[in-house]
């Protein structure tokens, strides 16, 4: 059902936790299945220097959260905004079709955290 990469990111998630003084925080959820993802960013000179996540959800939700943090770390804000849920799923070798709609909210959470950061910068 799940690829080896999905299972690896589920069993050994990367970048789990919170950043207390985060520059941006984004949270998204799917009321249908109950998955909730929260992403914390530390940005320096337009580059994502640190990124952490907390996810309440199924194995695929945890795996996509872990993968998106790996994909975004070290990228510029513009590069990170280009990451899509589809790209995250592809980086994991795919997700079962019934998991795509609820489990792969990871890029949405990343984009929400970037939006939060940008809103704070514009104040």
- Domain assignment present for residue 91? The answer is yes
Q: Show Cβ contacts of residue 119 under 8 Å, excluding neighbours closer than 6 positions.
A: none
- Domain assignment present for residue 47? The answer is yes
* Mean pLDDT computed over 103-121: 94
- Residues forming the active site: 33, 102
For residues 16 and 31, give the distance between their C-alpha atoms in angstroms, rounded to a whole number.
Answer: 23
Q: Show Cβ contacts of residue 10 under 8 Å, excluding neighbours closer than 6 positions.
A: 2, 59, 60, 62, 63, 66
Total domain count, the chain: 1
Higher local confidence (pLDDT), 24 or 104: 24
* Mean pLDDT computed over 27-41: 90
- Domain assignment present for residue 123? The answer is no
- Domain assignment present for residue 40? The answer is yes
Give the domain range for residue 95.
4-118
- The beta strands (E) that lie in the chain are given as 24-29, 36-44, 47-56
- Domain assignment present for residue 64? The answer is yes
Q: What is the CATH number of the domain that holds 113?
A: 3.90.1010.10
Query: What is the per-residue pLDDT for 102?
Result: 66
Q: Which of 8-12, 52-56, 79-83, 102-106 is the least confident region? A: 102-106
Average pLDDT across the chain, whole number: 94
- Domain assignment present for residue 107? The answer is yes
- Domain assignment present for residue 70? The answer is yes
50 in Cβ contact with 33 (< 8 Å): no
């Amino acid at each position: 059902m799940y690829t080896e990469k999905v299972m690896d990111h589920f069993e050994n998630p990367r970048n789990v936790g919170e950043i207390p003084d985060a520059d941006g925080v984004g949270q998204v959820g799917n009321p249908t299945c109950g998955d909730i993802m929260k992403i914390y960013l530390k940005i320096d000179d337009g580059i994502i220097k640190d990124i952490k996540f907390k996810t309440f959800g199924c194995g695929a939700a945890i795996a996509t959260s872990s993968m998106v943090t790996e994909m975004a770390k070290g990228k510029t804000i513009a590069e990170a905004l280009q990451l899509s849920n589809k790209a995250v799923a592809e980086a994991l070798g795919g997700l079962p079709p019934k998991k795509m709609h609820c489990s792969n909210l990871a890029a949405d959470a990343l984009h929400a955290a970037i939006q939060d950061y940008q809103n704070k910068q514009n104040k």
